[in-house]
Amino acid sequence: MKKLIYGIEFEPVWGMSGLLNFYGEGWPYHKILKIFGINFKSITFVSKTTTLLPNKGNMPLKKNLMPVELIPKSIYLNFFRKYALNAVSLSGPGAEEILSSKKLHQRTKPFQLSFMSVAPLGEERLKEFAQFIKILLREYHNYKTQIGLQLNVTCPNTEHDNPEMKEILTMLDMCDPLVGKGIAIILKISVEMPIANVLTFGEHRNCHAICTSNTVNFGNLPEKINWKKLFPNGSPLLKRNLNIKKPGGLSGAPLLPLVVEQIKLLREAGFKKHINGGGGIIYKKDINKLMEAGADSISIGSVVFLNPLAVPGIIKYAHKLF
Ligand SMILES: Cc1cc2nc3c(=O)[nH]c(=O)nc-3n(C[C@H](O)[C@H](O)[C@H](O)COP(=O)(O)O)c2cc1C
């Protein structure tokens, strides 16, 4: 049975923000995936997170928004144990270029944009969001399909990855004109976010769904993540001359049990909105765990480079299950 979010029919599988680049074109290595018959036609596209202004981040981009480096230095992956660490830090050309792109305007299947404010002060971040809303309202009539907006409030590679509840609630308040146009609002949270906070966001009139989880800040949740075992010598990204202030965010297999637990707790506590669950989906069987916990749909992310051959099966199975 299709589950609508604010009247919009998204697929039961979404591509985690960052998976398919800004316009759905993917990354250079996706050409190899194509040879093996791996494609993303039946998943909901979520655009890579844009900031309001152009943002250098740690993954230099060409004019066509493809990475300059063949293997970006800001991404570490452990292929054998199925996890990754990244400090990409939202490299991108800014909202004007992304939102006014014909590549997005011409998409015909519902998809989602993703935005994050990155100014150092709360007040400035809200101003950035107001400006983003203005651009989106200006461009909205050019879009050929219904869209959702993921509010990314949890990217570990920014200085304010855990903004105060008040700030997030204000952002949701500010979404009234977007919601008035029929845009679905989806909060991209992380397993680091306290359950009580997520419940409060879920009660907001403009929070139509949550997507969990973003990456986990290196070293956080030590009671649940054995960092010493994953990275005996500390963050490999800190040793790569990247000039980064933070050691990166964790993706992949270690996230799955945490996401399952979070969804279970949210449902037990009465969370009623749509939950899109992912983070650490590596095998087909992982989807059962998320569904049993109470997820309505799933997102796939780093599995695409950690276990690519499993991707078609995961997508097919999710379509069958949800
Ligand atoms: C290289 C890379 C880039 C990412 N970029 C974004 C992004 O732009 N916006 C976002 O919300 N999450 C971003 N993420 C986080 C993913 O969307 C996802 O939440 C996280 O990787 C956990 O899912 P996974 O374990 O299935 O990969 C990125 C992750 C990676 C590995």
Please indicate, yes or no, if residue 3 is contained in any of the structural domains: no
According to DSSP H, which parts of the chain are helical? 30-35, 95-99, 102-105, 122-139, 165-174, 176-180, 195-202, 227-230, 256-268, 285-293, 303-306, 311-321
Which residue's C-alpha comes closest to atom 12 of ligand 1?
A: 17
Query: For position 167, what pLDDT does the model report?
Result: 93
Tokens of 147: 């869209």
**Domain interval for residue 40:** 13-321
Please indicate, yes or no, if residue 200 is contained in any of the structural domains: yes
Q: pTM higher than 0.95, yes or no?
A: yes
**Whether the CB of 152 sits within 6 Å of ligand 1:** yes
Please indicate, yes or no, if residue 253 is contained in any of the structural domains: yes
Tokens of 294: 């109470």
**Whether the CB of 278 sits within 6 Å of ligand 1:** yes
Three-class DSSP category at 214: coil
Q: Residue 102: which CATH number? A: 3.20.20.70
Query: For position 274, what pLDDT does the model report?
Result: 98
Block residue for tokens 């909205």: 140
Which residue's C-alpha comes closest to atom 4 of ligand 1?
A: 18
List, for residues 172-201, the tens digit of each pLDDT value: 999 999 999 999 999 999 999 999 999 999
Please indicate, yes or no, if residue 4 is contained in any of the structural domains: no
Which residue's C-alpha comes closest to atom 1 of ligand 1?
A: 86
Q: How many domains does the chain have?
A: 1
Please indicate, yes or no, if residue 191 is contained in any of the structural domains: yes
How far does the chain reach from its first CA to its final CA, in angstroms?
7
Count helices and strands in the chain by DSSP H and E runs? 12, 11
Residue stretches of the chain with pLDDT short of 50: none
Evaluated on CA atoms 222, 224, 229, 234, the torsion sign reads negative
Please indicate, yes or no, if residue 5 is contained in any of the structural domains: no
Query: Distance of CA 181 to CAs 107, 122, 169, 311, Å?
Result: 18, 26, 20, 34
Query: What's the CA-to-centroid distance between 126 and ligand 1, angstroms?
Result: 23
Tokens of 267: 């449902």
